Structure 1
């Protein structure tokens, strides 16, 4: 029986995906969430999507091609969300740090509701330590994410540099992983406390 799509479907990549490709990639997210990256096969994706065997391989002939497409899909979704956050923070203005922090908190909570997306990202990141091509894909997207973090600090009227942005991205990666391990009812409090301890470094506060 096919699994349901993630709670909130990832945003499209820069090149629009066909409904069938999106269906297959959503199924691939479910495969990884249930079985880990080792369980990612064309047959498993077809089964989770409720499609005839051979459907997935018709789009991505090899496992490496499927893995690369999934990496792009996951990264594009997260980057689209961060782009949206940047616009929200620009709308808040440099003197409304509380609203900016609240918007960031809500984004993290939304990501935590998309367990399949976060688990897939973690699995792909670990795989990238052994796969140079996958590592390059993630490095390209991470560089853009670091740039977006710099834009967010600029929008909030804060100084920034690439080293600071890199450190912030790494810090928030760690917070997301730790929050994913928390019981669902405790996640909001955990994130809010973590942001406070970091000095709300993304948009201001004592962590200048």
Structure 2
């Protein structure tokens, strides 16, 4: 049985090792079979656990999807939180910010299961009000973080600009996911630089300048 541990995924502190093991297995199931393949039995098989292990924690498929949505959103937000800290530390240095974002995106692309699960769950949310509410809460937090990053970089910023950037990043990540691994860095570098000059706006003048 191949390992189901998804390297680099930051789990909520309160999540038990067994729950994390099952959710990591669920990420692999989605990456291999799509959301339609996500069943308790499939997760148990992928984790190498006895049948009934997954349903002991999440009785219904909806409960499993909701838990997985929280897991994925938490992992991505934790990474963005760390990026925001980096940006605050380096100040209004645009090149440092682009490089930090580039490395984060490349790491996400290496975690294919995490990105594919997010895309699948986002599509499911268009038909599931409960999932939509979960994703809306986390997306609002993500937009706030991106706005903070823009502010730390000395860029003109607003909620509307941040929301447009988040949507653009989603598209860039999807496009990069479909490219050969060897060409992803170049594609991401060019795309982030283009976004930095188009949507992010000009640097905010320093006081008294």
Provide Cα deviations, 1:24-50, integer angstroms capped at 9, x if missing partner: 000000000000000000000000001
- Normalised by the length of structure 2, the TM-score is 0.93
Partner residue in 1 for 2:45: 47
Partner residue in 1 for 2:170: 173
- 1:57 and 2:55 aligned: yes
- 1:199 and 2:184 aligned: no
Q: Alpha carbon RMSD of aligned pairs, Å?
A: 1.6
Partner residue in 2 for 1:119: 116
- 1:152 and 2:153 aligned: no
Select which of 24, 28, 31 maps to 2:29. 31
Select which of 73, 85, 88 maps to 1:87. 85
- In 1: Cα distance, 2:143 partner to 2:198 partner: 14
- In 2: Cα distance, 1:133 partner to 1:197 partner: 35
Question: Deviation of residue 97 (structure 1)?
Answer: 1.4
SS in 2 for 1:142: helix
- In 2: Cα distance, 1:121 partner to 1:195 partner: 21
- In 1: Cα distance, 2:197 partner to 2:152 partner: 15
1:5-16 correspondence to structure 2 within 5 Å: 5-6=5-6, 8-13=7-12, 15-16=13-14
Partner residue in 1 for 2:207: none
Select which of 115, 125, 128 maps to 2:125. 128
Q: 1:73 to 1:19 in 2, by over 3 A?
A: same
- In 2: Cα distance, 1:163 partner to 1:60 partner: 37
Could you tell which deviates more after superposition, 191-200 or 77-86?
A: 191-200
- Normalised by the length of structure 1, the TM-score is 0.93
Q: Is the 8 A contact 2:69 2:118 kept in 1?
A: yes
Q: Is the 8 A contact 2:156 2:200 kept in 1?
A: no
Partner residue in 2 for 1:188: 185
Provide Cα deviations, 1:72-130, integer angstroms capped at 9, x if missing partner: 00000000000000001111111x21111100100000000000000000000000011
- In 1: Cα distance, 2:86 partner to 2:161 partner: 21
Gaps of 5+ in 2: 204-209
Q: Is the 8 A contact 1:28 1:70 kept in 2?
A: yes
- In 2: Cα distance, 1:204 partner to 1:50 partner: 50
Question: Deviation of residue 203 (structure 1)?
Answer: 6.6
Between Structure 1 and Structure 2, how many residues are aligned? 203
Gaps of 5+ in 1: none
- 1:104 and 2:101 aligned: yes
